[in-house]
């Protein structure tokens, strides 16, 4: 199995190990500065061969196996999620050219701690590393996963997702705009943006007071690509809507097949949706923003004035509206299981996490009411 030991010009001892696997012959050269060190390497190699590990892949880099994982992901996940995963791999540059088997838990932990990213993003990055090593383990290159016990630091979110206040909900209800229709549906039916864009009028039954979620879109570049069903199996559902939304929808003109369309009457692209949303936020900011704290600032007579109007209202996002729907379900006393079905959550834990957070917020508000009452004496 082993060849003769030879002393090299650089002072190291070299020996070649040969073995047969199946019908194939393999060989590997080991290097060490002492005979004892070389013997230990031979013992370790024999141990790995006994475990049927693929010794020929020991020089493979982390980047090579990450590329293999991404090639599989491209066939397994949606175009959008694949694009997201590829964008995350740029943060793995410090590991990319290192031999896969030489990377230790310490190296991965150090990388995670040094990246100035959100907890959610760091969790995704750790997940990619875990999967890279699991792929190598499944292919008999390694015995263990060094990323298993790596910790992801819990960082506070820069912008916390929240439900709209009663006043902010009224802004949406009272402000006509091309984006008011999608905003009303997201706020009072809890649709995701990807469920809203392909929604057709035939999916809405005002008599039964329901919206049938049977398709969704993924943005391929700037263009929407429709797929049957929701984001997950649980996302394909029938949402029961309140009378307020029924009355609002009954007043809308049905000039196209899709409910929410671009200014040209076409299905919304990524750019079209963003521009429509930004325009609506500018309208709400101009109409309801409090600019009194800005020194020597005079609000233009028109929101279309060339002078930029500073944003003073909260940075409302489409997902805030969906979170608002979850909050309304909670305040109405809807049980968590029903809320899960209405929101299309894949896991009841997601719904329970939202309900638990809302419960804490509700208790704090009630205590504040008690404080105000006691101070009135």
Confidence of residue 254 (pLDDT cuts 50, 70, 90): confident
The C-alpha atoms of residue 143 and residue 121 are separated, in whole angstroms, by 27
User: For 153-158, which contacts have Cβ atoms below 8 Å and span 24 or more sequence positions?
Assistant: 153/112, 153/113, 153/119, 153/122, 154/119, 155/118, 155/119, 155/122, 157/118, 157/119, 158/118
The C-alpha atoms of residue 208 and residue 124 are separated, in whole angstroms, by 41
The mean pLDDT value of the chain amounts to 85
pTM: 0.63
Residue 194 reports pLDDT greater than 50: yes
Angle value at C-alpha 181, between 177 and 183, nearest 5 degrees: 95
Q: How deeply is 133 buried, as exposed, middle or buried, from its count of CB atoms within 10 A (0-12, 13-18, 19+)?
A: buried
* Residue 119: predicted pLDDT: 87
Alpha helix (H) residue ranges in 99-143: 105-114, 119-138
What token pair was written down for 28?
Answer: 């590997």
Element (H, E) at 186: helix 180-189
Neighbouring C-beta atoms of residue 159, cutoff 10 Å: 9
Please provide the distance, in angstroms rounded to a whole number, between the alpha carbons at the two ends of the chain.
Answer: 93
Element (H, E) at 195: helix 193-196
What pLDDT, in 10s, does the model give residues 299-345?
777 666 655 788 889 889 999 999 999 999 998 999 999 999 999 99
Neighbouring C-beta atoms of residue 322, cutoff 10 Å: 23
Q: Read off the pLDDT of each residue in 255-283 and give the average, rounded to a whole number.
A: 92
CA 158, 174, 281, 288 torsion: positive or negative? Answer: negative
* Residue 52: predicted pLDDT: 56
Q: How deeply is 293 buried, as exposed, middle or buried, from its count of CB atoms within 10 A (0-12, 13-18, 19+)?
A: exposed
The C-alpha atoms of residue 248 and residue 244 are separated, in whole angstroms, by 6
Confidence of residue 178 (pLDDT cuts 50, 70, 90): very high
Main-chain phi, psi angles of 14, to 5 degrees: -120, 140
Residue 244 reports pLDDT greater than 80: yes
Domains of the chain by start residue, with CATH = 6-52 (no CATH), 62-138 (1.10.150.130), 166-291+302-347 (1.10.443.10)
* Residue 49: predicted pLDDT: 58
User: How many angstroms from the chain centroid is the CA of residue 35?
Assistant: 52
Confidence of residue 5 (pLDDT cuts 50, 70, 90): low
Confidence of residue 77 (pLDDT cuts 50, 70, 90): confident
DSSP state letter for 100: G
* Residue 190: predicted pLDDT: 94
């Amino acid at each position: 199995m082993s060849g003769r030991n030879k002393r090299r010009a650089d002072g190291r001892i070299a020996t070649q190990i040969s073995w047969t696997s199946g019908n194939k012959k393999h060989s590997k050269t080991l290097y060490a500065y002492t005979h004892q060190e070389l013997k230990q390497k031979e013992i370790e190699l024999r141990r790995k061969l006994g475990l049927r590990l693929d010794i020929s892949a020991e020089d493979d880099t982390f980047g090579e196996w990450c590329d293999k994982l991404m090639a599989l992901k491209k066939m397994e996940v949606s175009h959008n999620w694949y694009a997201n995963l590829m964008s995350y791999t740029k943060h793995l540059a410090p590991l990319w050219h290192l031999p896969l088997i030489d990377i230790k838990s310490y190296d991965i932990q150090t990388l995670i701690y040094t990246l100035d990213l959100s907890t959610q993003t760091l969790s995704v990055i750790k997940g990619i590393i875990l999967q890279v090593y699991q792929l190598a383990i499944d292919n008999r290159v390694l015995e263990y996963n060094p990323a298993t016990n790596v910790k992801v630091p819990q960082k506070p979110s820069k912008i916390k997702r929240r439900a709209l206040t009663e006043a902010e909900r009224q802004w949406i209800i009272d402000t006509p705009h091309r984006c008011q229709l999608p905003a009303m549906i997201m706020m009072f039916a809890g649709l995701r943006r990807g469920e809203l864009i392909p929604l057709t009028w035939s999916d809405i039954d005002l008599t039964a007071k329901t919206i049938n979620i049977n398709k969704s879109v993924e943005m391929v570049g700037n263009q929407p690509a429709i797929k049957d069903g929701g984001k997950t199996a649980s996302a394909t559902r029938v949402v029961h809507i309140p009378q307020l939304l029924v009355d609002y929808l009954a007043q809308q003109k049905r000039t196209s097949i899709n409910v929410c369309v671009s200014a040209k009457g076409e299905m919304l692209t990524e750019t079209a949706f963003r521009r429509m949303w930004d325009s609506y936020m500018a309208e709400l900011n101009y109409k309801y923003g409090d600019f009194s704290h800005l020194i020597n600032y005079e609000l233009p007579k028109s929101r279309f004035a060339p002078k930029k109007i500073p944003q003073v209202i909260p940075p409302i996002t489409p997902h805030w509206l969906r979170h608002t729907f979850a909050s309304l379900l909670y305040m109405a006393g809807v049980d968590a299981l029903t809320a899960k079905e209405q929101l299309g959550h894949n896991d009841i834990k997601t719904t329970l996490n939202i309900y638990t957070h809302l419960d804490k917020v509700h208790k704090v508000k009630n205590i504040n009411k008690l404080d105000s009452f006691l101070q009135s004496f």
